[in-house]
Each structure stands twice: as C-alpha cells, then as structure tokens.
Structure 1
Amino acid sequence: MRISLTSVFVDDQDVAQRFYTDVLGFVVKQNVPIGEDRWLTVVSPEEPEGTQLVLEPSGHPAVQPYKTALVQDGIPATAFAVDDVRAEYERLRALGVRFTQEPADMGSVTTAVFDDTCGNLIQIMHGDM
C-alpha cells in the first residue's frame, strides 16, 4: 500500500493553481472539468509520477468551519519536505508569501509555516521525520 493522493481544501481553484505552481513550483498533473469545479492535482517537478496533491474545492458545508478552526489554532493543513527550510523561507518571502512561523529548529527537524492564500496554513520541513 502507498499514498497516491492527498488533498488540501482551497477557497478558489484558480488562485490555488497559480499559487501552488507559480509560487511553490509544483506542476499541474491533472486538470479535468467536473461541473463548476475541476479535478485539479499538482505534483513535484522532482517526482512527476509521485504523490498528487488535489486542490480540492471547499464547497462542502463542513469544510469552512474545519479550515477556520485549524488556521485559528495555527495548525497546518499539510506539510511539504524541502532540502533547506531557511533557504525556502527566504525564497518564498521574496515572492511575497506570508509566514506565520519563521524557521524553527525542533530537535532533528526544522520547520516553518506559511499562508497558502487559499485558506490554509502549510508547513515546510526538513530533517529526520
């Protein structure tokens, strides 16, 4: 068994697609119209056949209270691995990304948390997980 898909709920798929590709550097894997929304996935350009991240519409009534509670409590919706948290922090800040947690050493792991502009906090991390 292996993970092939994971998802984050996004407020606007167009905004999410731009942020996750133009800013974070992911590439679109699937973009299929489904009614008013799309089956929209992105992948790492380093692993084009790897795990897909679904940019899932936030339309279900349970989603907004869930997302709001996570953000209010400072809990990231997901985490992405990077080679160097501090370098990625500087790169993303230069692109205008707002961080809610600057790089922090937490034992064998370094983390930072940013706002994805789509209603989520996302953690970046490096180290022994």
Structure 2
Amino acid sequence: MDITIHTSVLPHDDPDAAVAFYRDVLGFEVRQDVGNGKMRWITVGPADQPDTSLLLAPPAVDPGVTDAERRTIAEMMAKGTYGWILLATKDLDGVFERVRAENAEIVQEPTEQPYGVRDCAFRDPAGNQVRIQEVR
C-alpha cells in the first residue's frame, strides 16, 4: 500500500491570529487562504515539506452539526481539549523560547519524558495543544 499523510485539520476561531501564530511564530508557509471573515480555510506547512499540510478551519460549520454540538465544540476549544497536534524539531529549546517570547500559553516546558522523548507543549491562539518533540 502507498499511503501518505496529506493534510491534518485543526480548528481556529480567529483566522488572523492562527495565520500569525503558524506563519510568524512556527515559521510555516501559508499555502492557501480561502474564504473571508472568520469563515476562512487556511492551509499551512513547512516550506521543505510541500506534500504535508495543516488545514486551519472554522469549527462546526458543517450543516449537519447541531447547535448543542457547536456549543460543546466551543467549550472544548476554550478548555484546550478539542484539537491537538504533535510536531518535531531538532532545536526544541530554540523553538520553545521563540514560542514563549510570543506569549503563547505554555502547558509544559521542555522535559525529558520517562518514555524516552524530550518534548514541550503549549496552546495556539484557538486553544489547540501543540506538542513538539525533539528529534536527535
């Protein structure tokens, strides 16, 4: 089988803040920005990985989602329990300091985990948890 990961999705509730964070703080390139106002679907990704993207999308816009489900999604996003992503870098300390300098909400400073991975965690502007592990 020949299957690759093309795109993964995270919700946003402020497209401008999402772009600023993923482009300016994490250094991803913006590949597409479709829609207007808060209803924008934004594709970002590392410049050296053109075949792998992250889609930042407005949550719960599907017409099949009920008002109760929309409220639940909004509550989960506010608590930071709705979306998350795991990234990797060779320079964990450098990335962490850059994120800290931008006043992102820090969940965990760089830590050596008991399962053999050194990582950190913070929240993006929508509350999504972003974990970054160090690759050696």
User: 2:66 corresponds to which residue?
Assistant: none
Q: Sequence identity of aligned pairs in percent?
A: 31
Deviation at 1:110, TM superposition (A): 0.9
User: 1:57 corresponds to which residue?
Assistant: 58
Normalising to structure 1: TM-score of the pair? Answer: 0.81
Question: Aligned to 1:109, which of 108, 113, 117?
Answer: 117
Residue 15 (str. 1) matches residue 17 (str. 2): yes
Superposed structure 1 runs of 4+ greater than 4 Å apart: none
RMSD, matched Cα: 2.4
CA distance in 1 between counterparts of 2:85 and 2:38 reads 25
- Across the two proteins, how many residue pairs are aligned to each other? 124
Structure exhibiting the larger radius of gyration computed from Cα positions? 2
Pick closer, same or farther for the CA change 1:94–1:66 going to 2, 3 Å: closer
Instruction: Please give the secondary structure, in 2, of the residue aligned with 1:81.
Output: strand
Question: Any stretches of 5+ residues in structure 1 without a counterpart?
Answer: none
Deviation at 1:19, TM superposition (A): 1.1
Normalising to structure 2: TM-score of the pair? Answer: 0.77
Residue 93 (str. 1) matches residue 100 (str. 2): yes
Pick closer, same or farther for the CA change 1:65–1:105 going to 2, 3 Å: same
Instruction: Please give the secondary structure, in 2, of the residue aligned with 1:50.
Output: coil
Pick closer, same or farther for the CA change 1:68–1:93 going to 2, 3 Å: closer
User: 2:64 corresponds to which residue?
Assistant: none
User: 1:126 corresponds to which residue?
Assistant: 134
Higher mean C-alpha deviation, range 35-44 or range 108-117: 35-44
User: 1:1-40: CA deviations, max 9, x gaps?
Assistant: 1110101111111211111111111111111227862221
Pick closer, same or farther for the CA change 1:76–1:39 going to 2, 3 Å: closer
Question: Any stretches of 5+ residues in structure 2 without a counterpart?
Answer: 62-69
AA matched with 2:85: T
